[in-house]
Amino acid sequence: MYRIGFIDDDNSLNDVYAKRLSRKDIELCFVDDCDTMQDVVSWILDAGIKCMIVDYQLTNQYNFKGTELVAYINAELPDLQCVILTNYKDTGISENLVIKNLFYERDIFEQGMDSEEFQEFVNTLKQATVIFDNRLKRHLEEYEQLKAQKDNETIRAIDEERMISIYKVLRAYGEVDDIPAELLTSSVSKQMSSILQSLNELIDKTE
């Protein structure tokens, strides 16, 4: 199933939304126990979310609007697509924080299951997850190239930062082994090599 996140300040219709989308092979996961935008990003990574549905009017529960959250997510996770669900489409579009074709009227869930409007909405969500998966594969290839440079001690500092940033996302989605990101830095690697060399020398002396 396609795993998609949802954040709203009103959960009264969550079961209805989840049931409708499950019939279209979409698993809807609801943001829980988050207060800040950074909390939401952490939840996205922990839950393995590949696309987000964001309610526009979040201010009954949060101190930010949906468009502000999407802008933040786009900055932190550029490959993760978000759509805005709203009763205030024109207002949201006028803020110029999210492109207009990613806005959907909330009554999209009231459309017939086989209606053209609802199917277009579903297809947008599914395509977003496919795009995310494809970009994740490209990031894995880039990570492996940068990791080889690090292992050969030919990596630049800026590329090392890029490698660690990519690694954190890949690790969240189970694409690489789970090791502390700090161990990927050249300084730590050199320290580990020095420790291992000292241990080997000590072993040689005791034999």
Determine the average pLDDT of the residues in 31-53.
96
- Residue 185 confidence (pLDDT) above 80: no
Q: Which two tokens stand for residue 61?
A: 């529960």
Cβ contacts of 56 within 8 Å, gap of 6 or more: 65, 66, 67, 84, 85, 86, 87, 88, 91, 92, 103
The CA distance from 26 to 125, in Å, is 9
- Amino acid 27: pLDDT: 97
pTM of the shown model = 0.81
Question: ∠ CA 72-75-80 to the nearest 5 degrees?
Answer: 90
Determine the average pLDDT of the residues in 67-79.
95
pLDDT tens figures, 144-161: 999 899 889 898 999 999
Nearest residue to 44 via CA among 77, 75, 91: 77
The CA distance from 3 to 6, in Å, is 10
- Amino acid 195: pLDDT: 43
pLDDT tens figures, 126-146: 999 999 999 999 999 999 999
- Residue 36 confidence (pLDDT) above 70: yes
- Residue 174 confidence (pLDDT) above 70: yes
Determine the average pLDDT of the residues in 19-33.
96
pLDDT tens figures, 77-104: 999 999 999 887 777 788 778 888 889 9
- Amino acid 193: pLDDT: 47
- Amino acid 192: pLDDT: 41
